[in-house]
Amino acid sequence: MRKRLAMYHQIALRAAEAGQSQISSGPLAALLHVDDSLVRKDMARAGIPGLQKVGYPLTEVLRRLEELLGLDERNDAILIGCGHLGAAILGYAGFSTYGLKITAAFDIDYAKVGQEIAGHRVLPMEKCRSILDIFRVRIAILTVPATAAQPLTDWLVGRGIRGIWNFAPATLTVPPGVVVRHENLAIGLARLIHGLKDATDRGPVGVPDDATRSGGAEGGRRREATARARRAAKS
């Protein structure tokens, strides 16, 4: 459901940009490949009143969905680890839509400290504590090596961080009350590969989760993953 709401929002945004002022359940349903009554139900549940014969006013749709999806809130975050991935995130344009502002970027490497990346000055880790105390930031973005992730997390949680967006390939343990989101790029990739495989196996059928699918494309070559699994099972 949340996914659908997010999609409605995207579609509504584009419709608004294209000059429309309302949108009806039919087109929305068609775009999401669901029944139009489901769209109406979603709208009703979201508290967006429609107008018979015309549809749903885009202003209302956008307003409510942004409220519901939390896009109307402002969230400050700090970023730790200014390697390539950290830099990519600092420069990522899409966040402002979601009200995210990275208020400070840190790195332990003094070679990086002082550098400016996408308008952010890299600060030394020593400054992190005082920044957190002063600004009461609740979200931390971790783009550090895997080994550093858990100890850093413990420390951050102790300093008041309540949401962690973890890009390190490490599973984090946190106390109750703290939300961790583990961003595993490899999973996105796995899904794409699977989508390709699906398209091959079954032809243009089924919508693999997030992906735009269809016909052709051959599968990849085999590897001997079995040997690896066996090694792991024995070690």
Positions that interact with DNA (CB under 7 A): 1, 24-26, 34-38, 40-41, 43-44, 49-56
Asked if 56 contacts 23 with a C-beta cutoff of 8 angstroms, the reply is yes
Binding to its own copies (CB under 8 A): which residues in 21-40? 21
Under the binding rule (CB under 8 A), the answer on residue 170 touching its own copies is no
Q: Shortest distance, CB of residue 33 to its own copies, whole angstroms? A: 15
Residues 43, 32: Cα–Cα separation, whole Å: 14
Torsion of CA 29, 31, 32, 37, to 10 degrees: 0
Determine if residue 55 is left, alpha or beta; phi over 0 gives left, psi from -120 to 50 gives alpha, anything else beta: left
Q: Identify which of residues 72 and 133 has a Cβ nearer to its own copies in the complex.
A: 72
Q: Shortest distance, CB of residue 42 to its own copies, whole angstroms? A: 16
Total residues contacting its own copies by CB under 8 A comes to 95
- For residue 205, the partner it binds in DNA, its own copies, none, with Cβ less than 5 to 8 A by kind, is none
Pick the binder of its own copies from 84, 111, 130, 134 (CB under 8 A). 84
Q: Which stretch binds its own copies (CB under 8 A): 24-32, 35-43, 124-132, 213-221?
A: 213-221
DSSP class per residue in 131-154: HHHHH---EEEE-S-HHHHHHHHH
- For residue 201, the partner it binds in DNA, its own copies, none, with Cβ less than 5 to 8 A by kind, is none
Pick the binder of its own copies from 33, 52, 111, 212 (CB under 8 A). 212
For the chain, give the number of residues: 235
- For residue 41, the partner it binds in DNA, its own copies, none, with Cβ less than 5 to 8 A by kind, is DNA
Q: Identify which of residues 95 and 155 has a Cβ nearer to its own copies in the complex.
A: 95
Q: Identify which of residues 70 and 158 has a Cβ nearer to its own copies in the complex.
A: 70
Q: Identify which of residues 32 and 149 has a Cβ nearer to DNA in the complex.
A: 32
Asked if 122 contacts 114 with a C-beta cutoff of 8 angstroms, the reply is yes
* CA 139 to the chain's CA centroid: 14
Asked if 125 contacts 106 with a C-beta cutoff of 8 angstroms, the reply is yes
Q: Shortest distance, CB of residue 53 to DNA, whole angstroms? A: 4
**Pairing of the two strands 179-182 and 116-117:** unpaired
Residues 147, 170: Cα–Cα separation, whole Å: 8
Q: Shortest distance, CB of residue 175 to DNA, whole angstroms? A: 25
Q: Identify which of residues 68 and 108 has a Cβ nearer to DNA in the complex.
A: 68
Gyration radius of the chain over CA positions: 22
Q: Shortest distance, CB of residue 72 to its own copies, whole angstroms? A: 4
Which residue(s) pair with 18 in the sheet?
none
